[in-house]
Chains A and B, each alone.
Chain A
Amino acid sequence: MSVLATVAGLGHAAQAARDAFERPAVDWHALAPDLVVVGVLCLVLVADLFLPEDRKGVLPSLAGLGLLAAMVPVLTLAADGTDRVLFGGAYAVDNFALVLKALFLVSGYVVVLLSTNYIAEGDYAEGEYYFLLLASILGMTVMASARDLVTIFVALEMLSIPAYLLAGWRKRDPKGNEAGVKYYLMGVFATGILLYGMSLVYGLAGTTQLAGIGEALATGESVPVISLAVVLVVAGFAFKVSAVPFHTWAPDTYEGAPTPITAFLSVSSKAAGFVALVQLVVIGFAGQTEVVRPLLWLLAVLSMTVGNVVALRQTNLVRMLAYSGISQAGFILAPLAVVGQIGESTLTSVVTYLLIYAAMNLGAFTVVMAVARKTGSAEIPSFGGLITYAPSLAVLMSIFLFALAGIPPLAGWLAKFVAFRAVVDADTGWAYALAVIMAINSVISLGYYANVAREMWMNPVPDGDTSRVRVPVSLTAALAITGLLTIAFGVTQWATDLGDVATFVASVSP
């Protein structure tokens, strides 16, 4: 009897709970870009299971088309134009998120194009490769929308854990193992430090939402533990964006990882780290600028200078690009180091820089891969005399290198200009000092970029082999996309008025 009563009571309780529980309204349109990527990655995994070995070639096409399909809802959401906030403020779809989702999807598509021949010709597992790549891209698109510490953490891990595996993909190669282990241990250690900082932030603010944290930390008096929390969180993300002195994993991982993954890590993964960092700094730590500014100032100056000086004496082009990426990270950090009460110019310059950096850096990696298919080497002397037997590749590489150096009218110039303007607009002594250091570093960087160009245009072919370079269709497509974007971002700005992309991105604020 009593048992029956209990069961009946439980039944009533369950009924009451069902009545009390209201299914939260889900805006499926806002989630569509991420859901398309989820669908495609499941499809790739299942297709890999059932396809015979000689038909695996369709997997990269499937992954690439899936990423392009995910662009469709991004475009419809952009056309719709309303800001959508989901899950109690933890997930937002606004212009800022959409621009970055587009960046991650397009750069992910270019990485798929880079991988197509590389992975098919090497002795690698294809299905798992594209599955992990898509999973990592999914983490990035979620990161673009994350407005809550828990969401940021889950997105960060979703993009990192597949990236650890991809970095160590060449599992029989000791260098591949080393790349994977160094990236993994550094990454996980950084996550631990980041999480400890986040736990302190949660304790101090009493909420995990960035907006709430911003309010709570702005009004409370400054206690040392807030500074500690801010330092730990920023240090955690500094690992992800490979800022000096947290950069030690980057060159080794970039050299040992498969080249498409190196491009992926140096562009997409770094951009995702910046997205989270910029949101935390601009929204979450808006009231803590006296801690954030000197910290980021130091990181920016160290990254620019150390990255450049070490890049000068590299003989391997991939390693040189790794150090150049560290130095470029310093330029992206610079506007954050002068972040004011209004974070708008900081946001504009960071997003503009990320978009342009993605196009030119992916382009440079594409040329390296195309040439390495013939020479089998990424050493800088192996590019000698490229102009005599592959003029189009040499011209494109020069365009990407000079864009990275920031020579007008190429895109990198616009990126550097927007960063300079954001720094100088801050109008403080520290800001001017930072601008001077940025200018000096731009000149130093020209040294190593021009060195590669000189090798291609002036020097003789090292082994006298001037047979032409066969560039597969996928690499040609990747070159077309990145080359067009690099020139278009720069030339349209140069020809028309200065602030077009900048004002477009300026309308963007989280």
Chain B
Amino acid sequence: MLNQFLLLGAVLFCIGVYGVIARKNTVLVLMSIELILNAVNINLIAFGAMNGDIAGAVFALFVIAVAAAEVGVGLAMVLIIYRNRSSVDLDDVDSMRG
């Protein structure tokens, strides 16, 4: 049973990493990062259940709370970029080089 959960976590993680690397839209990148964090949560809770230990679930709760704060900051940044440039494309946010 544990293997199925870990497999789900690994698949979600890979989709998330692919999304962060391949997507150019900031909002989609944020969603991909959420996928990675949820893969982490599935892993933590599955391992916690396997070990009969509460620490995994507690860790997952912390991850959920912190992820909410992170996305709040991220959406604020997306908003301000949209105001300044009328675009949320990451290729536009690349003026400094070298």
Contacts and interface: CB of A to CB of B under 8 A. Distances in A.
Contact of A202 (B9, B37, B59, B84): B59
B51 A206 contact: yes
A195 B37 contact: yes
Q: Do most interface residues of chain B lie in helix, strand or loop, or is the interface mixed?
A: helix
B42 to A, nearest CB: 9
B62 A150 contact: yes
A189 interface: yes
A180 to B, nearest CB: 6
Contact of A196 (B36, B74, B98): B36
B80 interface: yes
Contact of A165 (B33, B73, B81): B73
A196 B55 contact: no
A256 B85 CA distance: 16
Contacts of A189: 20, 33, 36
B69 A161 contact: yes
Nearest to B20: A189
Nearest to A187: B70
B44 to A, nearest CB: 5
A327 interface: no
Given A185-B29, A256-B96, A314-B98, A202 B47 contact: yes
Given A153-B66, A157-B70, A255-B96, A184 B43 contact: no
B81 A202 contact: no
B73 A164 contact: yes
Given A165-B73, A184-B74, A252-B96, 13 more contacts: A150-B62, A154-B62, A157-B70, A161-B69, A168-B77, A196-B13, A196-B36, A196-B39, A199-B47, A202-B44, A203-B47, A208-B59, A314-B98
19 contacts: A164-B73, A171-B80, A174-B95, A180-B77, A181-B26, A185-B90, A188-B74, A189-B36, A191-B70, A192-B33, A192-B36, A193-B36, A195-B63, A196-B39, A199-B40, A199-B47, A202-B55, A206-B51, A252-B96
A-B pairs with lowest CB-CB distance, top 5 = A203-B47, A192-B36, A199-B43, A195-B40, A252-B96
